[in-house]
Amino acid sequence: MAFLALGTVALDNVKTPSGFKKNMLGGSAAHFSMSARLFDDVHLVGIVGKDFPKMHLDFLKRKGVNVSSVTIADGKTFRWTGEYKPEDLNSAITHETELGVLLDYTPVITDQQKKLDYLFLANLAPTVQERLLSLMPKPEFVGLDTMNLWINTALRDLRRLMKKVDMMVLNDAEARMLTGERNAVAAARAIRAMGPRLVVIKKGEHGVYVYGGNFQFAYPAYPVLKVVDPTGAGDTFAGGLFGYIAKCRKADQKTLRKAVVYGTVLASFNVEGFGMGKTAPLSMKDVEKRLKEYQAFCAF
Amino acid sequence: MAFLALGTVALDNVKTPSGFKKNMLGGSAAHFSMSARLFDDVHLVGIVGKDFPKMHLDFLKRKGVNVSSVTIADGKTFRWTGEYKPEDLNSAITHETELGVLLDYTPVITDQQKKLDYLFLANLAPTVQERLLSLMPKPEFVGLDTMNLWINTALRDLRRLMKKVDMMVLNDAEARMLTGERNAVAAARAIRAMGPRLVVIKKGEHGVYVYGGNFQFAYPAYPVLKVVDPTGAGDTFAGGLFGYIAKCRKADQKTLRKAVVYGTVLASFNVEGFGMGKTAPLSMKDVEKRLKEYQAFCAF
């Protein structure tokens, strides 16, 4: 069954110790979809400008991503220029952000899409995320991601939205910022008290911690010897996680554990190459192969 | 079978957000032994001053730790006064270090002890660690821990010693300092190239990463909602790890994985109380109970 994913579609310029790449296809919804498409039929909801290269849209389509609700607006596509320094490949330094068409974006979806009942709100302004949610009469399961910018500038909107979602996915720095709790275990409890019944805290190279009220679990990251470009790793993780949940059409503990493992495996591919260099060519066979390695890695 | 553990025995004054405790029994070998005694017969090798409270020695004996090679010397016991701030419970701020009798310490052991073949060199000056090692004619398995101080001030001694040990246990900041590699996976490979065939990188609340040449694994930390005092967590971890290896008298991959799990479980108890408040009362039954919880926590 199909599901919706709202978020940014961007053109990224990224510098890392491994090199510098310009005009890559990026953005939260694009990375999310490149991962989620392996599990289920993902409908991307977002906006680009008239300058957006047709080859990127064709590429998404070829990968099985439904782009019928990607608005092509007058104006420029959202652009991000950032850098990762060798001493901290976990933290991006933003050099430039050009919001372009994102500034006036109101999500539009088809009547058919309004009936879909699994929805992931990838990183975007909380008011825009909430707008899309308001178009859905009765979604069964809603996931939410965010970023430090919205915690700093749109906390009230974000807190209101958090009450309406089932699962929140965020990184450890964001969890700390949102709750004041440095300890991920304590932060997850505080976030759950704000609304979402499932809280997934991404810790990059340190793996992931999940809290669901009457259960909790943590898994390490898949070991990556050389991180080439971490851009989109969190979105790729969320894509594997949510894609598997949407495919199973349930998010009980057992499904969630497996979903987090898929997210972990997908994210490990993402950081091994620039942009979608390593995730775009993947088949489920590649994913299952690494999942087996990961199982051996974690076993005791 | 018995085994040796060399390291410090200290009097600790510790301030954390949970309180302030004075004159607690501490030190690398003391924390290590309080954990390792659950698995095997541990002989502590260290030094204290004449001011060392007899009750602490009696306490160690009562817990089954052999203290026959704890030298009681003229002078003052090693004292450490430190603090952990709420914003970073992983990093101790040292307010005062009084080395006392540690300054002129030369380890002395009995002829019987020289024949023991499992030896753990807990944190202490590398030259002192090496001296003890030189007293053992043919140890079968040697573990080594260290700290940032020795990497900064005695690197040549440490590097020489590293060539003579089987397993090195160190935290992620030390691994980075020693190798220049920020990535734990890469750092472990660089450390293995320096000597020890097994490399165990402790990452505190983020768990542990292990590299053994033809295998690697990682486990998350046991989730602790409130860290009361992290002092000695790394030593407690090493005690569980090495105690189990010494008991099994082998360090193949399967044994090592189980040993790391025991270390992880023991360390989780340590941080839940001041000093040895939570580790000293433990029986193996308590440990096995938490191990079961940890297994459920990590499963997928």
Q: What is the pLDDT of residues A104-160, one digit of tens each?
A: 999 999 999 999 999 999 999 999 999 999 999 989 999 999 999 999 999 999 999
Chain B residues in contact with A84 (beta carbon < 8 A)? none
Q: Which of B183, B295, B299 minimises the CB distance to A227? A: B183
Q: Which of B88, B183, B218 minimises the CB distance to A220? A: B218
Q: What residue spans define the domains of chain A? A: 3-298
**What is the mean pLDDT of the segment spanning A228-245?**
98
- Closest-approach residue (CA) in chain B for A294: B217
What is the overall mean pLDDT for chain A?
97
Torsion (CA) A5, A11, A16, A21 in degrees, nearest 10: 130
| Residue B290, CA distances (Å) to A212, B26, B256, B284 in order | 20, 24, 18, 10
Interface test with B, best of A189, A205, A208 (most B CBs within 10 A): A205
Q: Tokens for A36, please give them.
A: 């989620």
| Residue A217, CA distances (Å) to A17, A26, B259 in order | 33, 30, 20
- Flag whether pLDDT at A1 surpasses 90: no
- Taking the CA of residue A3 and the nearest CA in chain B, the distance in Å comes to 25
Q: What is the pLDDT of residues B24-64, one digit of tens each?
A: 999 999 999 999 999 999 999 999 999 999 999 999 999 99
- Closest-approach residue (CA) in chain A for B256: A300
Going by C-alpha positions, the residue among B240, B276, B278, B233 that lies closest to residue B257 is B240
Number of CB atoms found within 10 A of residue A91's CB? 12
| Interchain CB distance below 8 Å, A205 and B189 | no
| Interchain CB distance below 8 Å, A205 and B183 | yes
At A116 the pLDDT is: 96
At B90 the pLDDT is: 82
- Taking the CA of residue A185 and the nearest CA in chain B, the distance in Å comes to 6
Q: Tokens for B154, please give them.
A: 């005695």
Q: Tokens for A274, please give them.
A: 């620039």
Q: Which residues of B touch A (CB under 8 A)?
A: 86-89, 182-186, 189, 203, 205-207, 209, 216-221, 223-227, 257-258, 260-261, 295, 297-300
Q: Which residues of A107-128 are buried (b: 16+ CB within 10 A; e: fewer)?
A: bebeeebeebbbbbbbbbbbeb
Going by C-alpha positions, the residue among A274, A209, A287 that lies closest to residue B205 is A209
**What is the mean pLDDT of the segment spanning B150-171?**
98
Q: Which residues pair with A12 in a beta bridge?
A: A24, A80
| Interchain CB distance below 8 Å, A209 and B220 | yes
Q: Which residues of A touch B (CB under 8 A)?
A: 86-89, 182-186, 189, 203, 205-207, 209, 216-221, 223-227, 257-258, 260-261, 295, 297-300
CB A258 within 8 A of CB A294: no
Fill in the DSSP letter of residue B77: P
Helix residue ranges per DSSP H, chain A: 28-36, 54-62, 111-114, 126-135, 148-153, 155-162, 172-179, 184-192, 233-248, 253-271, 284-298
At A87 the pLDDT is: 84
Q: CA angle at residue A118 from A115 to A121, to 5 degrees?
A: 110
- Taking the CA of residue B147 and the nearest CA in chain A, the distance in Å comes to 21
Chain A residues in contact with B209 (beta carbon < 8 A)? 220, 223
Q: Which residues pair with A167 in a beta bridge?
A: A143, A198
* Gap between the Cα atoms of A161 and B67, Å rounded: 60
pLDDT band at B202 (very low <50, low <70, confident <90, very high): very high
At B1 the pLDDT is: 79
- Closest-approach residue (CA) in chain B for A183: B225
Chain B residues in contact with A255 (beta carbon < 8 A)? none
Chain B residues in contact with A183 (beta carbon < 8 A)? 89, 205, 224-227
Q: What is the pLDDT of residues A206-219, one digit of tens each?
A: 999 999 999 999 99
* Gap between the Cα atoms of A58 and B275, Å rounded: 62
**What is the mean pLDDT of the segment spanning A90-95?**
90
Number of H helices, E strands in chain A: 11, 13
pLDDT band at A91 (very low <50, low <70, confident <90, very high): confident
Please classify residue A227 by burial: count the beta carbons closer than 10 Å to its beta carbon, then call 0-12 exposed, 13-18 middle and 19+ buried.
Answer: buried
Q: Which of B207, B223, B226 minimises the CB distance to A220? A: B207
Write the CB contacts of A182 (distance below 8 Å, at least 6 apart in sequence).
A176, B86, B87, B88, B89
Helix residue ranges per DSSP H, B45-139: 54-62, 111-114, 126-135
Q: Given this structure, which CATH class describes domain A3-298? A: alpha beta
CB A193 within 8 A of CB A168: no
Q: Which of A87, A225, A258 minimises the CB distance to B185? A: A225
At B89 the pLDDT is: 87
Chain B residues in contact with A185 (beta carbon < 8 A)? 223-225
pTM of the model: 0.94
Torsion (CA) A63, A64, A68, A72 in degrees, nearest 10: -10
pLDDT > 90: percent of chain A: 97
Amino acid sitting at position A191: I
Is the complex ipTM more than 0.85? yes
| Interchain CB distance below 8 Å, B220 and A227 | no
> Interhelix angle for B253-271 vs B28-36, to 10°?
110
Chain A residues in contact with B224 (beta carbon < 8 A)? 183, 185
At A239 the pLDDT is: 98
- Closest-approach residue (CA) in chain B for A291: B300
At A100 the pLDDT is: 97
- Flag whether pLDDT at B219 surpasses 90: yes
Q: Tokens for A202, please give them.
A: 């991404």
- Closest-approach residue (CA) in chain A for B297: A217
Interface test with A, best of B87, B205, B258 (most A CBs within 10 A): B205
**What is the mean pLDDT of the segment spanning B117-124?**
97
- Flag whether pLDDT at A54 surpasses 90: yes
CB A63 within 8 A of CB A41: no
| Interchain CB distance below 8 Å, B218 and A207 | yes
pLDDT band at B87 (very low <50, low <70, confident <90, very high): confident
Write the CB contacts of A4 (distance below 8 Å, at least 6 apart in sequence).
A42, A43, A45, A109, A113, A116, A118, A119, A120, A132, A136
What is the overall mean pLDDT for chain B?
97
